[in-house]
Amino acid sequence: MKVPFSPPRIDERTLEAVAGVLRSGWITTGPQVRHFEERLTEYTGCRATVCLNSASAGLELALRWFGLGPGDEVIVPAYTYAASANVVIHCGATPVFVDSGPDFNLDPEAVLRAITPRTKVVMPVDIGGWPCDYEALREVLNRPGVRDAFVPATEAQRGLGRILLLADAAHSFGAVYKGKRIGTQADLSVFSFHAVKNLTTAEGGAVCFHLPPPFDAQAEAARLRTKSLHGQSRDAFSKMNSPGWRYDILEPGYKCNMTDIQAAMGLVELERYDEQLEKRRRIMHRYDEAFAGDPRFTTPCWKDGDSHSSYHLYMLRLNNTSESQRDAVIASVFAREVAVNVHFVPLPMMTYYRNAGYDIKDYPGAYQSYACEISLPVYYDLSPEMQELVIASLMGALNEHGLQG
Ligand SMILES: Cc1ncc(COP(=O)(O)O)c(C=O)c1O
C-alpha cells in the first residue's frame, strides 16, 4: 500500500519513553499514569481526569458511576461506532437512537423529541473530531420541562438533578467548541487513545470530569479510578510505596486501568500534540482546495468561527452517488494502493441492533451520510506527495466509474 489509512506516529522519542518505563522496574499503573492524567487535565481545562485502557471502558464506567441500569434509556446517535451503544447494553439499559444532521453529528431537536421520563443520559459523539452543538444540547437538558421530568434513582443522579451529558469524545481530543476545548463542554467527556486516533497509547482512553457543583471532581475521579481496579481501596503502586500491605474491596469493580507503558507513549504524544494538530489542519485545508469547488463533493465541516475539529477524519461525501457506486469507487481507490475508509455503518444496519428492532428507515440522515461517505487519510506522516496521490487516485476512480467533473 503506497498510502496506508492511519499509521501511528512512532519514532525514537516514543521508543525511548517506552524503554525507560520497561527499565524502571514499574510497568503497570503508577507515576507515568498519574502524570499523564495531570497533563490531560491541564490541556483540556477540565477539573479531573482518569486514564483507562480504552474509551469503551471509560464510557461504561461513566454510565455505571451514574448508576445506570435496567429500565433506563440513553440517547445515542444512530451514526456512530458500536462502542457508544454497546456499553449501554452492558449496563442493562436501552440505547435510544436519534438521527444526525448534515454535519454527521446528532441533532439537538431529535434529542429533545427522544427524551422520556426514563432518559438518564444523552451521549453526543463528536464524529470525526467535529464538536457537536453543546450549547444547544445543554439548553435542551436544562429546559424546565425536561429537568422537572428527570427521575433520579442514585446519589449521583440526585446530585446532578438532571440528565447527564456524557460526551463520546473518542475522536475529538484537542477540538475546540466556541473557544473552549472538548473536555469542558459536557459533564463527562471520554477520549480514545486507540492506535488509529490522533493521540495514541496503542490502546487507551480517558474520562475527563467537568461536573457542576456540588460535585467534587477529584473525589468523583477517585471513585471512578477505584471502580477501574476491582474496587480496591489502594492500588499496587501505593501499596508498594507506603507502609502496610492491607487493602479493602469497596465494591465489585472492573479491571480496565491504564499501564505506565501506555502513559509514557501518551506523554510524548501530548507534548507535541499541537504541532500534530497543525499538520492535520493543513492536510484538511489541501483536501478542501481539491474538492470544495467541485459539485461532485460535499466537504466536511472542520472549522466555524471559534470552533474547530481535532482534524481526526476527513469525511468527504460524493453527491448523487448510491451506496454501491461509492463502494465501487472505494475498490478502485484501493486498486491504486491508497487506503480509504467509511465511517460509519449506522448501528440500526448492524445485525445485533437490526434484530433488536431498530430500523434504518427511521434514521434517513444517518443513512444518507453513510451511503456516500469516504474518509480520506489524515495523519502526521502523510507527506504532500502522498496526499496528492490520494487526491489523484480518487479523481481517477471517479472517472473510471463515469463520475467525471
Ligand atoms: C465514536 C467512538 N466511540 C468509542 C470508541 C471506542 O474507543 P476505544 O477503542 O478506545 O474503546 C470508538 C473507537 O473507535 C469510536 O470511534
Q: Is 44 in the pocket of ligand 1 (CB under 6 A)?
A: no
Residue 104 vs residues 76, 99, 154, 269: alpha-carbon distances, Å? 13, 9, 33, 28
Ligand 1 centroid – CA 56 distance (Å): 6
Which backbone phi and psi does 279 adopt, to 5 degrees?
-65, -45
| Nearest ligand 1 atom to alpha carbon 56 | 11
**pLDDT above 80 for 405:** no
| Nearest ligand 1 atom to alpha carbon 168 | 3
| Nearest ligand 1 atom to alpha carbon 83 | 4
Mutating to test ligand 1, I would choose from 192, 262, 345, 350 the residue with most ligand atoms within 8 A of its C-beta, which is 192
**pLDDT above 80 for 239:** no
Cell 475508509 locates to 341
Ligand 1 centroid – CA 224 distance (Å): 19
Helix ranges restricted to H, 132-259: 134-142, 144-149, 155-160, 217-227, 236-241
Mutating to test ligand 1, I would choose from 81, 188, 193, 347 the residue with most ligand atoms within 8 A of its C-beta, which is 81
Q: How far apart are CA 401 and CA 127, in angstroms?
A: 29
| Residue pair 349/356 in contact by the 8 Å Cβ criterion | no
Q: Is 276 in the pocket of ligand 1 (CB under 6 A)?
A: no
Ligand 1 centroid – CA 60 distance (Å): 12
Cα of first residue to Cα of last residue in the chain, in angstroms, is 27
pLDDT digits (tens, 9 = 90+) for 30-64: 999 999 999 999 999 999 999 999 999 999 999 99
pLDDT digits (tens, 9 = 90+) for 160-213: 999 999 999 999 999 999 999 999 999 999 999 999 999 999 999 999 999 999
**pLDDT above 90 for 259:** yes
Ligand 1 centroid – CA 61 distance (Å): 14
Which backbone phi and psi does 189 adopt, to 5 degrees?
-130, 135
Ligand 1 centroid – CA 127 distance (Å): 11
What CATH number should be reported for the domain whose range is 12-271? Answer: 3.40.640.10
Residue 52 vs residues 32, 139, 256, 402: alpha-carbon distances, Å? 13, 30, 6, 48
Q: Is 80 in the pocket of ligand 1 (CB under 6 A)?
A: yes
What's the burial of 244, exposed, middle or buried (CB within 10 Å: 0-12/13-18/19+)? exposed
Q: What percent of the chain has pLDDT over 70?
A: 100
What residue segments make up the domains of the chain, in order of their start? 12-271, 273-400
| Grid coordinates given for 88 | 449501554
What CATH number should be reported for the domain whose range is 273-400? Answer: 3.90.1150.10
Any idea of the CA torsion for 144, 44, 303, 109, to the nearest 10 degrees? -20
Q: Is 172 in the pocket of ligand 1 (CB under 6 A)?
A: no
Q: 338 - beta bridge partners? A: 3
Asked whether this chain's domains 12-271 and 273-400 adopt the same fold, the reply is no
Q: Average pLDDT over the chain, rounded to whole?
A: 97
Q: Regarding beta strands 119-122 and 164-168, do their DSSP bridges make them parallel or antiparallel, or are they unpaired?
A: parallel
Ligand 1 centroid – CA 47 distance (Å): 23
Residue scoring higher pLDDT (235 or 63): 63
Ligand 1 centroid – CA 233 distance (Å): 29
Residue 305: per-residue pLDDT: 97
Which backbone phi and psi does 125 adopt, to 5 degrees?
-125, 125
Ligand 1 centroid – CA 250 distance (Å): 29
Q: Is 104 in the pocket of ligand 1 (CB under 6 A)?
A: no
Q: Is 60 in the pocket of ligand 1 (CB under 6 A)?
A: no
Q: How far apart are CA 157 and CA 151, in angstroms?
A: 8
Average of per-residue pLDDT across 133-143: 98
Q: Is 262 in the pocket of ligand 1 (CB under 6 A)?
A: no
| Nearest ligand 1 atom to alpha carbon 127 | 1
Ligand 1 centroid – CA 398 distance (Å): 31
**pLDDT above 80 for 243:** no
Q: Is 168 in the pocket of ligand 1 (CB under 6 A)?
A: yes
Whole-prediction pTM: 0.98
Ligand 1 centroid – CA 92 distance (Å): 20
What's the maximum distance between 2 C-alpha atoms anywhere in the chain?
74
Nearest CA to ligand 1 atom 7: 55
Which backbone phi and psi does 159 adopt, to 5 degrees?
-60, -40
pLDDT digits (tens, 9 = 90+) for 366-400: 999 999 999 999 999 999 999 999 999 999 999 99
CA neighbor of 146 nearest in space, from 160, 133, 131: 160
What's the burial of 40, exposed, middle or buried (CB within 10 Å: 0-12/13-18/19+)? buried
pLDDT digits (tens, 9 = 90+) for 314-329: 999 999 999 999 999 9
Q: Is 191 in the pocket of ligand 1 (CB under 6 A)?
A: no
Cis bond upstream, residue 214 (ω within 30):
yes
| Residue pair 338/393 in contact by the 8 Å Cβ criterion | yes
Residue 245: per-residue pLDDT: 83
**pLDDT above 90 for 252:** yes
| Residue pair 207/182 in contact by the 8 Å Cβ criterion | no
Residue 63: per-residue pLDDT: 98
**pLDDT above 90 for 234:** no
Question: pLDDT-derived band of residue 404, with 50, 70 and 90 as boundaries?
Answer: confident
Name the DSSP class of 75. E
